A and B are shown apart, each in its own frame.
Chain A
Amino acid sequence: MTTISSAGGGQMDGIGLDVDGLSVDVHTPQGTARAVDGVSFRAFRGQTLALLGESGCGKSMTAHAIAGLLEPTAEVVAGTVHLNGADLLSLSRKKRRKLAGPMLSIVFQDALTALNPVYKVGTQLAEPFRIHQGLSAKEAKEKAIELMAHVGIPEPASRIDFYPHQFSGGMRQRLLIAMAVALSPKVLIADEPTTALDVTVQAQILALLAKLREEHEMAVILITHDLAVVAEQADRVAVMYAGRVVEEGPVEEVFEHPRHPYTQGLLAAVPVNAERGADLSSIPGAPPDLFSIPSGCAYQARCPLVQDICRAQRPRLEALSEGRAAACHFAQEAQDA
């Protein structure tokens, strides 16, 4: 982690968000688990960074820790998150609230449960303006109508008085996105924004996100388990496994020349690369239980390249070349595998 993030300030050109050594513990009746373990990455303005991984790998937990929305049972135990020169994690709650919306915002996965069912969408869309800009109800409503039009919701002036259940899934996701970009934040976290949608609607939503990213020069952090979405939307990708980033780099390079066996396994499992009639490739086994992550590499039990050193020593995320890093003892060998 030390190799890819040295500057702490996020003042460097183009850096929207600089996450360094972020660790999150989850306290449960069964004990404490390290759900996010020393995660570091940078998101650049005007670009999309994909956080890729399967469920339970800690990608959503990372997003919620950055946004300050962890459940009371989860706790940030280490790391810094620099945005615009300030470490979010060391700010007071009040100061952090001031940034929530104008600097950093988040789009949730399931728009139906994320929108408040008992309020008109107009009221909810107006909320960022009411909270941060102190606009009157009438002014905020005007802004909300503009916002709805901007994210492609037809007839915004009449539909502003509708309730969330009166919209389709795609439209609800547009509403969430509208709320998130209302105050042109510098960083936008999209937490599986299209998982609950049809493929056609999915494409529209992703296109909308890309358009808004350009307009607002936002650094977008796209959390997903969908390799196709990453390939189409992201500039850079950080692959997560068992709470850690195991590989990072520009999407084309990582997808064409994956250097971590886990990334290789994921890519090999995409049916596009398989021949008709042949068995589909899959990664054997399951991710480790977070309560009993083995010492050494977390991927050791599933890895085709496993050696003694993998069981003894946990590989660090090391730079391989400019902008690329992988956490594998055999990252060089893996290239040729």
Chain B
Amino acid sequence: MLTFLRQRVLSSAVPLVVVVLGVFLMARLTGNPASLYLPENATQQMRDEFSRAHGFDKPLLAQMVDYFSGVIRLDFGQSLRTGESASTMALRAYPATLQLATVTMVLAVLLAIVIGSWAALNPNGVADRVSSFMSMTAASVPDFWLAIVGIWIFALTLGMLPTSGVDAGALSWVLPILTLLIRPLGVLTQVVRGAMISALSAPYVKLARSKGADEYRVISRHALRNASPPALTVAGDLAVGLVNGAVVVETIFGWPGIGKLMIDSILERDFAVLQAAVLLTAVTIFALNILIDIGYALLDARVRRKVTA
């Protein structure tokens, strides 16, 4: 197991470096921060001083070396806006995103298991039709549109929910979660449905029935456990999508998470913060993938053998 972990961490390192490098270069395409932070009538001398102070005058390669040597020492630089350490800002925003993604994913998984199993038990029944409709909707409606329509209906027209922010307690969570939920739920329901249909027609389900197992036991123990690995794979992908998709939803709902921090940093050309936020997101995604593999091994002994070997 430890060998497996070490191997996975090592194999994640290379893409991680590529991601950091990519962000480092792309951020610089947004333009010179000096023209944003200094008044329009700033002299060339002032601009040069600003660039020198923040190291933007050095050649790109030198900047890169500086940056990476900082990263190795876990020093991600300071924010141009606030002068605060970039890593502190990223870590402060992180829990808000994580909470939103976790609550959404837990809801999506639980609902998908219930609706998907129900649909699998009665193909072409009510649950099946509802879930198909939901999945089609989820696949075709972009989340920003959903968010805006949600705000229009529930916040502006009905006045039931806040338009944005986190000040209204539990109510603040409703719209962001609903917006984020629909896609993972739609996709996951279809995956659970398909996996359950094939599991329920498998010989081991017949064997369980032949032993006198009731429907609950057949579904919850024999079928669902076998249907979980494909659902887990897709759930993992969707969770990655949630962390990424946080950018849009957090921006619309003014949610103080890492996605909003990224957008703000891009707009402000706050390179150090952007890089720290992206790195943190990337590490999260790699960690998530390793967790999925471990989950596989826990669910299925046949995978465990390969993992431990």
Interface residues of A (CB under 8 A from B): 67-69, 71, 94, 97-102, 105-106, 108, 110, 113-120, 127-128, 131-132, 163, 165, 176, 179-180
Contacts and interface: CB of A to CB of B under 8 A. Distances in A.
B214 A97 contact: yes
B207 interface: yes
B81 interface: no
B203 A113 contact: yes
Interface in B188-227: 201-204, 206-214, 217, 221-222, 225-226
Interface residues of B, number: 22
B300 interface: yes
B130 to A, nearest CB: 21
B226 A131 contact: no
Contacts of B301: 117-118, 120, 163, 165
Given A163-B302, A165-B301, A176 B212 contact: no
Contact of A108 (B203, B222, B302): B203
B234 interface: no
Interface of B: 201-204, 206-214, 217, 221-222, 225-226, 299-302
A118 B226 contact: yes
Nearest to B301: A163
Contacts of A69: 206, 209-210
13 contacts: A67-B210, A69-B209, A98-B212, A99-B212, A108-B207, A108-B210, A115-B204, A117-B226, A117-B301, A118-B301, A119-B225, A132-B212, A179-B211
A115 B217 CA distance: 15
A114 B206 contact: yes
Nearest to A120: B301
A159 to B, nearest CB: 14
Question: Which among B202, B207, B208, B210 has the greatest number of chain A C-beta atoms within 10 A?
Answer: B210
Contact of A131 (B206, B212, B222, B300): B212
A113 B206 CA distance: 10
B213 A118 contact: no
A276 to B, nearest CB: 41
B135 to A, nearest CB: 23
A176 B302 CA distance: 20
A114 B212 contact: no
A118 B225 contact: yes
